[in-house]
A and B are shown apart, each in its own frame.
Chain A
Amino acid sequence: MQEALRFLVPDAEPVDRTDFIERARRLRDAPEASSRRGLPLSIRSLHKSFGANQVLRGVDLQIPAGQFVAIVGRSGCGKSTLLRLIAGLETIDTGSIGFGEATRPADVRVMFQEPRLLPWARVLSNVEVGLGRDRASSDAQLRAEQALAEVGLDDKRGQWPAVLSGGQKQRVALARALVSHPRVLAFDEPLGALDALTRISMQRLLERVWHDQGFTAILVTHDVAEAVALADRVLVIEDGRIARDIEVDIARPRRRGSAALAALEGSILRDLLQSADETTEL
């Protein structure tokens, strides 16, 4: 299926190669570029319960700065809870999450499955929301416009979100997450509600902005193919623990549907299905 779709989505993004390099150079030369590296994450024996339901039972995890980590697992395995804990949306029961030198940076941004745009704000002001307290600064609009251009939607700045397609809304949400140049960006099934073609072009966009900006990326997903296509490292969570920790040692840019990706995807899926079978036998 993915192989077949590859012919429908041209390999080259709407932006051509020279544009890509030009943008990368501009970002590298930007004055704040040096401080815009990702933050490392260090998670120690993390536990979280909701009532009697133990969701996370001791997660230990080190993520180097700038790594792209995908977290997969079956529904209810605790992967979204882990992400919400990292983003500070839930409180930690026991254990700790450290971000390099800091313990609780304001630099974590989250992108959800739903775009969560304010329907009563134009696209550009929705992106400005992402600036947080910098919204009032004089260059707020310029930065928002740059972020919109980054996701290829600068021509939609004056539209209401209601007129955008699902993929465009999600790109606005991405621009809103990127506008503050976060050092950690967490994605909670950001492409789950999109159709197959839009998903593939969004995956390329995510990979590109991660490559450009160098933030630490944490992607929670159901889709193992998506995980192996995007991530440096895939974590499989089962029963509230990290069951497998797999380095994806495949050079970028990765060819979707290549034998190496397919083999890795197959092996992870086999594991997940096997443990699912064991659970049903019990």
Chain B
Amino acid sequence: MSLIESLPRIRRWRLPRPDGLVPWIVPLAIVLVWQAACVGGLVPARVLPAPTEVASAGWKLLLSGELLRNIWVSFWRAIVGFAIGGSIGFVFGLANGLSQLSNRLTDTTLQMVRNVPHLALIPLVILWFGIDESAKLFLVALGVFFPIYLNTLHGIRTVDPQLIEMGRIYGMSDGELFRRVIFPGALPSIFVGVRFALGIMWLTLIVAETIAASSGLGYMAMQAREFMQIDVVVLSILIYALLGKLADSTSRALERLTLSWHPAFQK
């Protein structure tokens, strides 16, 4: 008895921080090792600037307003592109999951388009839209479309048919059946799609901005390369990592909020 009771105390003694900080131990350690390697002269500054230099470059860009402006531009493109592509993917996923006719009509076409790497369309997109906003939005929307489409479709297809039968016995109308049985049943799978799509969203956006843009984080990194500002290049890469983490945390929070019934989200 005394042993079992003392177990939590031992853990608390070893980990005095709140649990929320645990995931940040590894990134922090990496930064520390990196700093030590730069200060110790193991890594020349031309190859990789020290974290402190990256931070000071970031501070300078922050003061000039350039950093926030570029982050905002990229963020806006990401959100709008995601909203457009995501909602189209969701609608097609619903339609093809619920209607056999719609599925037979469009699924083959969508599968063919899916297998074209959407970044291969960049030359075509530049010819169509120039380096306009719509070019980036188009690419992001296209990239985000497929994971959401596929996972929505899969989610709807795999809703327990016994629950649907139950709903029909209890006189649910089609709309009610969708709202109370099919959609909640498909939601876990839709969220898997959202998380995949968030990754693709950043990837697409950064590549598109690197190749064809006059603002945004990708553009900032490419400009910095032209002027050999390696600290700014590294800074942009770190910002991508943080933005990616932010997007993932947001979707996890949404998951926890809407899937609180799921055994995996219960504590």
For chain A, residues 103 to 160, give those with C-beta under 8 angstroms from any C-beta of chain B. 106, 109-110, 112, 114, 116, 118-121, 129-130, 132-133, 160
A163 to B187, CA, bound (A): 20
A130 to B167, CA, bound (A): 9
Closest to B168 in A: A89
B166 within 8 A of A: yes
B227 within 8 A of A: no
Please judge, given known A-B contacts A114-B162, A118-B163, A120-B184, whether A160 and B261 are in contact too, CB under 8 Å. yes
A162 within 8 A of B: yes
Closest to A125 in B: B180
A87 within 8 A of B: yes
Interface of chain B: mostly helix, strand, loop or mixed:
helix
Contacts of A129 in B (CB 8 A): 166-167, 170, 172, 180
A121 to B167, CA, bound (A): 13
Among B169, B171, B187, contact of A110 (Cβ-Cβ < 8 Å)? B169
For chain B, residues 158 to 202, give those with C-beta under 8 angstroms from any C-beta of chain A. 162-163, 165-167, 169-172, 180-181, 184-185, 187
Please judge, given known A-B contacts A112-B162, A160-B266, whether A118 and B181 are in contact too, CB under 8 Å. yes
Question: Which of B170, B180, B187, B260 has the most C-beta atoms of chain A within 10 angstroms of its own C-beta?
Answer: B170
A109 to B169, CA, bound (A): 7
Contacts of A121 in B (CB 8 A): 180, 261
Contacts of A133 in B (CB 8 A): 171
Among A89, A118, A161, A162, contact of B169 (Cβ-Cβ < 8 Å)? A89
Contacts of B162 in A (CB 8 A): 112, 114, 116
A129 to B180, CA, bound (A): 10
Contact A162 B171 (CB under 8 A): no
Contact B169 A87 (CB under 8 A): yes
Contacts of B165 in A (CB 8 A): 89, 116
CB of B174 to closest CB in A, whole Å: 14
- How large, as a class, is the contact surface on chain B? 20 to 34
Contacts of B180 in A (CB 8 A): 118, 121, 129
B263 within 8 A of A: yes
B9 within 8 A of A: no
Contacts of B14 in A (CB 8 A): none
Question: Which of A87, A89, A120 has the most C-beta atoms of chain B within 10 angstroms of its own C-beta?
Answer: A120
Closest to B171 in A: A132
CB of A129 to closest CB in B, whole Å: 5
B262 within 8 A of A: yes
A118 to B184, CA, bound (A): 9
A118 to B262, CA, bound (A): 11
Please judge, given known A-B contacts A116-B162, A118-B163, A162-B263, whether A132 and B184 are in contact too, CB under 8 Å. no
A109 to B166, CA, bound (A): 10
Contacts of A130 in B (CB 8 A): 170
Contacts of B169 in A (CB 8 A): 87, 89, 109-110
A89 to B162, CA, bound (A): 12
A180 to B159, CA, bound (A): 26
Q: Interface code B204-229, partner A: CB below 8 Å = 1, 0 otherwise?
A: 00000000000000000000000000
Closest to A114 in B: B162
Contact B166 A162 (CB under 8 A): no
A39 to B32, CA, bound (A): 79
Contacts of A89 in B (CB 8 A): 165, 169
For chain B, residues 243 to 267, give those with C-beta under 8 angstroms from any C-beta of chain A. 259-263, 266
Among B170, B261, B266, contact of A132 (Cβ-Cβ < 8 Å)? B170
A121 to B169, CA, bound (A): 17
Q: Interface code A225-261, partner B: CB below 8 Å = 1, 0 otherwise?
A: 0000000000000000000000000000000000000
Contacts of A109 in B (CB 8 A): 169
A120 to B169, CA, bound (A): 19
Among B172, B187, B266, contact of A162 (Cβ-Cβ < 8 Å)? B266
Closest to A179 in B: B170
Closest to B166 in A: A116
Contacts of B185 in A (CB 8 A): 120
CB of B110 to closest CB in A, whole Å: 28
Contact A119 B262 (CB under 8 A): yes
Closest to B180 in A: A118
CB of B100 to closest CB in A, whole Å: 20
Contact A119 B261 (CB under 8 A): yes
CB of A183 to closest CB in B, whole Å: 15
Q: Which 10 A-B pairs have the closest CB atoms?
A: A132-B171, A120-B184, A116-B166, A120-B261, A162-B263, A160-B261, A129-B170, A132-B170, A116-B162, A119-B261
State the B residues within 8 Å of A (CB): 162-163, 165-167, 169-172, 180-181, 184-185, 187, 259-263, 266
A-B pairs with beta carbons under 8 Å apart, 16 shown: A89-B165, A109-B169, A114-B162, A116-B163, A116-B166, A118-B181, A119-B261, A120-B184, A120-B187, A121-B261, A129-B172, A129-B180, A161-B261, A162-B262, A163-B266, A176-B170
